[in-house]
Chain A
Amino acid sequence: MTMAAIQTDVTVHEMPQTPHPIIEVDGISKLYGDVQALKDINLQFETGHLTSLLGPSGCGKTTLLKIIAGLLQPTEGEVRVKGQAIDGPGRERAFVFQDFALMPWASVLDNAAFGLKMQGLGKAERRERARHYVAEVGLSGFEDSFPHQLSGGMRQRVGLARALAVDADVLLMDEPFSAVDEQTRRKFQEDLMHLREVEKKTFLFVTHSIEEAVYVSDRIVLLSPRPGRLSDIIEPDIPRNVDPDRLRRDSGYLDTVEMIWSSIRKYVE
C-alpha cells in the first residue's frame, strides 16, 4: 500500500504511463453563494483506471463529479477531457445517477436507448444497440418492462446499460449503489470489476462507503469537507485476481479500510 502526499504523486506507480491523462482537473473551485464547496482541486485520471472519490458528506465529491460531467460550472479552474477544455456535457462522458434517473413512462429498452436517441440515432439502430447492453448488464427478458416493475438493483442496471450504450470513454458514477440493498450491492461491485475488464473504460466512482472504494478502486481520492479539498490519494495494494470472498478477508484490504477510516473519522464527529 502506498500513500502519496497531496498533489505530488499520481504517477509513481508501475502502471504503464500514458502521456496524456484522459481527464485533467485543473484548479477547480466551486462556491455556492458564500459557501465554498470545493477549493483548488487538481487531479488527473488515467485511461482505463477506476478512481473513487471518497469522503464524508459535505466534502463536495458529487459536486466535483458533476463539474467533470459538465452538469455544473466551476467558479474557478477548468476540466480538460483528452486535452480539450469542456463547457458542458459531452459524448465522451456518460453519467450514472444515484437515483437512477429513469423515465418512468419508458420501457427498459427505451430508457437504455435514451442517450443514443439524443445523439440522433435511428430507432431501429438504437434499439438494437440498447438491446445488446441491456443483455450485457443481465436484464435480457426485461426489455419491455417498465422501471416500476423492477427492483432497485435492476433499475440501476438499466442506468448502467444506458451509460454503456453511448460508448463513452469515461463512466461517471455518482454513488450508483447507495440506493440498493446490501446483497445486491456486493453483487454489483463484483459485476463492476468484471465490466472494467471487458469494457476497457475509465471509471470515476463517487462513494461514501470506504469498503466499496477499497474493493473496486485502482486509486482512491480522499476529500475532506468544509471546504472540499484534496486530502489524500491512496492506491490500494491488494490482490486483484483472487475471488471476491477471499479479497474481502485480505489483510491488505482490511488495513487500507482501517487506515482510511482513521484518517476521516475526525470529520464525522
Chain B
Amino acid sequence: MSITSPAVSAPIWGVSGVLTRFTQMPLTWKILSVVLFALAWEITARTGFNFSFPTFTQTTGAFWEMLTDGSLAGAYLRTLQPLSIGLALSLIIGISAGVAMGLRHEFEWFSLPVFIVMQAAPMAALIPLVTFVYGIGMTSKVIAVVMLALPVIAMNSYKAVRNVSPSLVAMCQSFTGTRWQCITQIILPASSPMMFAGLRLGVAEGFSGIVLAELLITPTGIGDLITYHRSIANFGHMYASIVSIVLFAIISVGILQWAETKIFRPEKRGV
C-alpha cells in the first residue's frame, strides 16, 4: 500500500484554531463580569435596602481580616477533614460499585435501584437522622458527605462502563483478549473520562454535604464561622465566610475540570 493524501483534514485545524482564540477571550469577559457584579453588589448594599446586607468592600475587608488572623485557615483545616475522608470513601465505594454494576448483571439488578433512589431523592433529609444516631461528631459529618457524594459517583461509573463502545469490546475479544484483558485494557480506560466527570460532580455534592453537615449537625469549621458571625450580626464576616466556601468549592471543581481536559484531551475531540 502506498501513502494516501496528507493526513489531517483542514476543518479539524480550523476548529481548534477558533477554539484557542475562544479560550483566550473569555478571561477579559470574566474580569469584566466580576467587576460588574461587584459594582452591582456595592450599589445595592449602599442603597441600604436591608440592614443585614453588607457592601462588597465590607465583605472583602472582612475576608482579608479573617485571612490574616488565621481564623479562616483554621476553619478550613477542620472542614477539610470530614470532607476528604468522606470523599475518599465515596470514591472507593462508588467506583467499585459502579464498575461492578456495569460489568455484572446480578450486581446491576441488586444495587442499581438503590443508587437510582439515592440519586433522585433528597438525601439531605437523612442528615438529621444520622445526627440523631451517630451524634454530633466526625462520623456523622463523614456520613453526610458520603450520602451526597456517593450516588453520583457510583451512577457515573456505572454509566461510564455501560457506555463503552460495544465494538471496542468486540475488537478486544476478536483479538483473543481474555475477559480480564478486555476489562483492564479496554473497558476501564474507555470509561475513565466519564468516571472522572462523575468524580467532579461527586466533589461538588460533597461540598454541599459538608456545608449542610456543619450547619445542621453542629457548627464546626466553616459552618461555625457562618453561624457565629450571624449570631453576633457581624454580617460582613458571615458573607465573607459563605463566599469563601462557595469559591473554594468552585475552584476545586474547576481544577478537576481542568485536569479532566488535560488528561483526556484526545477523547474530547472525539473519534
Contact = CB atoms under 8 A, between A and B. Distances in A.
B7 A114 contact: no
A25 interface: no
Given A97-B170, A101-B170, A105-B266, A140 B176 contact: no
Interface stretch (B121-129, B154-162, B184-192, B207-215): B184-192
B267 interface: yes
Interface residues of B, number: 32
Interface string B246-268: 00000000000000000010110
Interface stretch (A150-158, A204-212, A216-224): A150-158
A192 B9 CA distance: 23
Tier of interface size on chain A: 35 or more
A153 B165 contact: no
Interface in B164-203: 165, 167-168, 170-178, 181, 185-186, 189-190
A99 B185 CA distance: 19
A9 interface: no
Contacts of A191: 1-2
B176 A90 contact: yes
Contact of B176 (A118, A137, A145): A118
B3 interface: yes
A142 B7 contact: yes
B104 interface: no
Contacts of A94: 174-175
A89 B1 contact: no
B271 A148 contact: yes
B17 interface: no
A193 B190 CA distance: 34
Contact of B174 (A95, A157, A194): A95
A101 B186 CA distance: 11
B23 interface: no
A5 interface: no
B7 A115 contact: no
Interface in A106-152: 114-115, 117-119, 136-140, 142, 145-151
Contact of A137 (B1, B173, B181, B186): B1
A195 B269 CA distance: 32
Interface string A30-41: 000000000000
A195 B9 CA distance: 26
B8 A149 contact: yes
Given A71-B170, A194-B1, A147 B271 contact: yes
B181 A118 contact: yes
B28 interface: no
B14 interface: no
Contact of A103 (B2, B189, B269): B189
Given A119-B176, A194-B1, A148 B269 contact: yes
Interface string B2-36: 11110111001000000000000000000000000
A184 B6 CA distance: 12
The CB with the most chain A CB atoms within 10 A, among B2, B173, B176, B189, is that of: B176
B199 to A, nearest CB: 18
B70 interface: no
A32 to B, nearest CB: 15
Contacts of A103: 168, 186, 189-190
Contacts of B171: 95, 97, 101, 114
A162 B4 CA distance: 18
Nearest to B264: A105
Contacts of A79: none
Contacts of A240: none
Nearest to B8: A149
Name the residue in B167, B168, B175, B266 with the highest tally of chain A Cβ atoms < 10 Å from its Cβ: B175
Given A70-B173, A91-B176, A153-B4, 18 more contacts: A66-B170, A71-B174, A95-B174, A95-B175, A100-B271, A101-B170, A102-B271, A103-B168, A104-B266, A104-B267, A104-B271, A105-B190, A114-B171, A114-B185, A119-B175, A138-B4, A146-B266, A154-B7
Interface of B: 1-5, 7-9, 12, 165, 167-168, 170-178, 181, 185-186, 189-190, 264, 266-267, 269-271
27 contacts: A70-B173, A70-B174, A71-B170, A89-B175, A95-B171, A95-B174, A95-B175, A97-B167, A97-B170, A97-B171, A99-B165, A103-B168, A103-B186, A104-B266, A105-B189, A105-B190, A105-B264, A105-B267, A114-B171, A114-B172, A118-B172, A118-B176, A137-B1, A147-B266, A154-B4, A157-B4, A191-B1
